[in-house]
Amino acid sequence: MTLAEVLPSVGLAGEPPLEPGLWPRTTRLTEGGDLTCGGVRLTRLAARFGTPVQVFDETEIRGRAESLRAAFPGAEIAFATKALPVRGVLRVLGFGADVCSAGEIAMARSAGVPGERILVHGNVKTPEDLKAAFTAHAGRIVADSADEIDQLAALAPAGQRVLVRVTPGVDAHTHRALATAVEGQKFGFSLASGAALEAVGQVLAQPGLRAAGLHCHLGSQVRDTGAYAEAVRRMVGLLAEVRERHGVTLDQIDLGGGFAVPYRAGEQAFDLTGAARRILGTLRLECERHRLPVPRLVLEPGRWLVATAGITLYRVAAVKNGFVAVDGGMSDNPRPALYGARYTARLVGRHTKAPRRPWIIAGRHCEAGDVLAEDVPLPADIRPGDLLAVPVSGAYHHALASNYNLVGRPPLVAVADGAPRVLVRRETEEDLLRRDLG
């Protein structure tokens, strides 16, 4: 066994080391500049499944699920299906499911998630979404507007449990497009204006509905653990107001998801144990202060569980005008174009002594904005046929992928114990033409 196999962040001679915290835990450098993940050589995987291909380290996903359970003992965890709606992943995680459409409900059900552990979200829930939720006997529906509470009162099966989505006014210091708990955005009921308290009253007034608790979601890619503590303070304060105004003690607080992951070298990892200590400690203290029983804590992480488990492999098609152009792009990863997400990449499977210099990696699509990553240190002699690996591509890639330019979406291949397992096959031209009836 080589030193690089024992300590994966240590480089082999001439190979840049793996950036700590960006690669799945079973990733290893091997001779000739190749990487293995789950015991499978990435060059072989690319040869067998083609490129682009998304690789998932099953051990990373399982390890993260275990860490989360250990950090929040007693909490209920529902995976945010929107981050990676794939049955094989839902099964490996073994959590409940946060879903926000009839499609995600169907996926959770077919992955064997019991209805009781399905939480239905959505800033808009269509009649089809609600019907699917009722048919699945979804454990909780998270109400997002007064109109929706009226709809639930009219349509939901008797005893349907409802969480009220609160906008607690906590700024989680994330990208504007990812911040969902500040005033002036489309989700939920404002705490500051009293709308959240009113909404709980509206649910309680409906004999057919059961007010199960409160929900908030600060946003995504949140690093600030203090924002979670502040949200807990405000949510427990609202529980106390509900008891005072309505004489009812709600027994659940759902804090949503949002835990951040690093995408580039030098970015800080989310302090999971520190966050858990702050969240659980604040919850206990605030409940004591308000003389409330400690409610059940529900969490809905997506990105933190799966992002780092994923690597996307691309083949370099051309080097032109200072760009490294690859065979994928905004159709398999729209995040850079959507909100300026930043990535890194490394050359895989070719050893070179060429010095490294910053490159821009461009996608294949007919948009000047189809740029996957900038300022990426790659060898100066990068050339067509080279294989590039982009780490931290497990969350909101497959989920946000499109068929732009009628490019089929890449396959998802899980790796573990030296064997690949296809979770989602590559989209074919036949798939692409099927819905077009001519």
Ligand X SMILES: Cc1ncc(COP(=O)(O)O)c(C=O)c1O
Binding-site positions for pyridoxal 5'-phosphate: 258, 300-303, 396
Q: Is 366 a catalytic residue?
A: yes
Q: How far apart are CA 426 and CA 409, in angstroms?
A: 6
- The catalytic residue among 37, 100, 216, 366 is 366
Distance of CA 114 to the CA centre of its chain: 21
Per the listing, tokens 């990676």 go with 84
On whether the CB atoms of residues 95 and 79 are closer than 8 A, the answer is yes
Span near ligand X by CB under 6 A; candidates 80-88, 103-111, 286-294, 336-344: 80-88
Three-class SS of residue 413? strand
One residue of 262, 301, 336, 391 binding ligand X per CB under 6 A = 301
- For ligand X, what does the binding mask look like between residues 108 and 127, x meaning CB under 6 A? -------------x------
One residue of 257, 295, 328, 329 binding ligand X per CB under 6 A = 257
Least Å distance between CB 302 and ligand X? 3
- Say which amino acid occupies 87: R
Structure tokens given for 353: 């002594």
If one asks whether residue 83 binds ligand X (CB under 6 A), the answer comes out as yes
One residue of 21, 38, 258, 349 binding ligand X per CB under 6 A = 258
Structure tokens given for 18: 């793996």
One residue of 60, 98, 104, 144 binding ligand X per CB under 6 A = 98
Q: How far apart are CA 157 and CA 182, in angstroms?
A: 32
If one asks whether residue 217 binds ligand X (CB under 6 A), the answer comes out as yes
Least Å distance between CB 79 and ligand X? 9
Least Å distance between CB 48 and ligand X? 30
Q: How far apart are CA 18 and CA 29, in angstroms?
A: 8
Q: How far apart are CA 410 and CA 330, in angstroms?
A: 12
If one asks whether residue 300 binds ligand X (CB under 6 A), the answer comes out as yes
- Listed in sequence order, the residues at least 6 apart from 168 whose beta carbon sits closer than 8 Å to its beta carbon are 181, 191, 216, 218, 230, 231, 234, 235, 238
Residue number, 29 or 222, with CB nearest to ligand X: 222
Span near ligand X by CB under 6 A; candidates 20-28, 76-84, 88-96, 272-280: 76-84
- By CB under 6 A, the count of residues binding ligand X is 16
Name which of 35, 430, 83 is nearest 256 in CA terms: 83
Positions touching ligand X (CB under 6 A) are: 80, 82-83, 98, 121, 217, 220, 256-259, 300-304
The residues carrying an active-site annotation are 366
